[in-house]
Amino acid sequence: MMVTMSYFPIETERLLLRQFRLSDVDATAAYEGLPEVARYCSWEPRTRRRIKELIPRWIAMDGLGAKSEGIQYAVVLKASGRQIGDCVLMFDDIAARQGQLGYVMDPAHQGRGYTTEAARAVLGVGFDRVGLHRISARCDTRNFASWRVMEKLSMRREAHFREHAIFKGEWDEEFVYAMLEDEWRAQQGAV
């Protein structure tokens, strides 16, 4: 399934999705350290120290090799070179060609379509270059902005889990969205 090639960088109209660098610590900590960013994530606001620990792992997530966890991208504005978020394609089950999409965006840059633009590019890598059959994404049902991105990508809502886990001290409700490779191809043919 996986081809020996680089999955970096990806360019879109306004964005550059590139491999993380050790020098991305401060830019990443600036948004991942915000309580409003961590609110619906499995982690609490991340400190600079924690980001510094995570970046080597994210650099290693290059999509290559049988043991790769996936592909992690730093999302950068082409016009300014400023990092404004990150996007990941996790490999859930390589044999079944299953992946999971995730994204985090600096609140100062939300509402401009950057998350949708980055996520669409990562879906393209997953289906067209990695060869995945199905890519899913999930979010807290209260995270309207996140599930709206999934709908803008034409992902299909497959599940609504109600009170299925305790998340940050309260019952969690979660939406799961997904897209199959033939749905992706049909969508690309329609453009």
Q: What is the pLDDT of residues 43-86, one digit of tens each?
A: 999 999 999 999 999 999 999 987 889 999 999 999 999 999 99
Compute the chain's Rg from CA coordinates.
16
For 42, 78, 141, 160, the CA distances from 168, given in Å and listed in that order, are: 8, 36, 14, 19
- Residues 178/157, Cβ–Cβ less than 8 Å: no
For the chain, the domains span 10-135
CATH class label, 10-135: alpha beta
pTM of the model: 0.93
Within its chain, how far is the Cα of 106 from the centroid?
13
CA distance 135 to 68: 16
- Residues 73/87, Cβ–Cβ less than 8 Å: yes
pLDDT tens digits along 3-45:
446 899 999 999 999 999 999 999 999 999 999 999 999 999 9
